[in-house]
Structure 1
């Protein structure tokens, strides 16, 4: 193939530079007009750096080279502050507290316009008020109560912060006291105090147990005494009843004898062993001899 033919073929496939540039500009324009907003965020559309509107997560279109998009997170965020304070008895304490907060979706554009984004809002609005709410509460508690009643301190801090933030387009909740650091000397004294308290409680428990055992012995002795007393009462009552019965029997017998003298004879006859008396004493000094022995001889 000659050089002339090759040149003619190159002219046939040659694309004008203007056309290529136009295609490139079109592709860049199309690509620049499409954007997405991630889930959990709100897109702030800016035109020449002026915030114009907010858009929800998903696929959107904008004017290429003119509009830009900045995202604001509307999921729950956590801020943690570590600060020095003092307790009610002027004891220095270092405390770490955290708070969860969420931007109101409907007000994301207003927040961006006023504060320029979440970082500036945290630094200028949220964090200073959070520290202030915490430092207002901690001095109301002495060190021991602060440790024992952490939930009460948390509720007080939360109430203060909610009041401070009620005019801003955010919601604050779930405040936590993450850590409390007290002086080492105080912790040692607390440990000693707790040890002494445990020993006192153990001694009190021991004394209560001894009292319980002593009371149990007293109850046992009382029960035995009550048992003996009841037995004695029963025996005495039995003897009294038997005596009454015997007295009634004697009275009945005496009454029967008075009414019928022959019963005496009958009783003597029933009790006689068949023998006559060996001697009989008379009214005089001479004894009456037993004539039965003589007659038998």
Structure 2
């Protein structure tokens, strides 16, 4: 009986080992022959075929969620569709005349949803490789082409217009490649010698404007003083003319009656002792 039980136990163990071996074998087969990937909402997934003469260029399938595939014949590529920030190493571009300016750009962009298959067909690279090569070239060419249309002075004094033209070129180029431009910072830096010359020129212009303003202010002040003095003088002339006119009027109003009233006011009440003429009319001397 003991031998029989031992044989049964041995048979069970042997069967369990076979089951484990089968499961392990199936796992290994699935590992080599069946793959699984998860595509979340912030990425775009494409299933690319490894077979065929064109090796995936024409046989691409957009996929989402849980995706099963055969690693021997296909693979999954994922591209993020959220904002990407790429800080590029500085480079130089030349303005008209050959003056070199340093650009230290930082690009913000994202891949347009639905463009993953087109991006892969065109470049067949992962996003970091595309950023470091394709997109960097686009950024550099945009700055180079626009800078060549500016003189050094205008490039320094019109940075807003310069960057607007660069952004327009970037937007057009990135859209053609399946990406959406968001914004870019240029960190434009002119040569130190040019910046010193521009600063000196701006200082001279500001000083000239300040002097012109000062001269204009002094001129205006002088004009105000002259106007004020002229007004005072004219007021005095008008006052004098008015007084003279008043005196003239007073002289004209001195009638015989007024003279007689003045004579009466000065008479002491005594009659004269000498009669100068006949009749009732007498002439008295007013003292």
Q: TM-score band (shorter)?
A: 0.7 to 0.9
Structure 2 residues without counterparts, runs of 5 or longer: 279-287
CA spacing shift, 1:141–1:120, aligned 2, 3 Å: same
**Which structure features the higher share of helix residues?**
1
Deviation at 1:149, TM superposition (A): 0.7
Q: Who is 1:130 aligned against?
A: 139
Matched residue count: 265
On the 8 A contact 1:95/1:181 being kept in 2, the answer is: no
SS at match of 2:189: strand
CA separation in 2, counterparts of 1:219 and 1:139?
Answer: 56
The 2-side partners of 1:271 and 1:192 are apart by 90
CA contact (8 A) 2:44 2:114 kept: no
Task: With a CA cutoff of 8 Å and minimum separation of 6, indicate the structure with the bigger relative contact order.
Answer: 2
Deviation at 1:173, TM superposition (A): 4.3
Deviations 1:170-224 (A, max 9, x none): 2334243223231x32233233333333433333333233223322322321232
**Cα RMSD (Å):** 3.8
Deviates more, 1:189-198 or 1:147-156: 189-198
Is structure 2 residue 248 aligned with structure 1 residue 276?
A: no
The structure with the largest alpha-carbon Rg is 1
- Separation of aligned partners in 2, 1:270 and 1:173: 108
Per-residue deviation, 1:153: 0.9
Of the three residues 179, 182, 203, the one matched with 1:170 is 179
Shift of the 22–239 alpha-carbon distance from structure 1 to 2, 3 Å rule, reads farther
Q: What is the aligned partner in structure 1 of residue 67 from structure 2?
A: 61
Shift of 1:126: 3.2
User: Partner of 2:110: helix, strand, or coil?
Assistant: strand
Structure 2 CA distance, aligned partners of 1:174 and 1:199? 37
| Contact 2:175/2:181 (<8 A) preserved | no
Aligned-residue offset at 1:272 = 6.5
TM-score (norm 1): 0.71
Counterparts in 2 of 1:100 and 1:280: CA distance versus 1, 3 Å: same
TM-score (norm 2): 0.73
Unaligned runs of 5+ in 1: 255-263, 284-297
After alignment, is 14-23 or 102-111 more displaced?
Answer: 14-23
Which residue of the partner structure matches residue 243 of structure 2?
A: 235
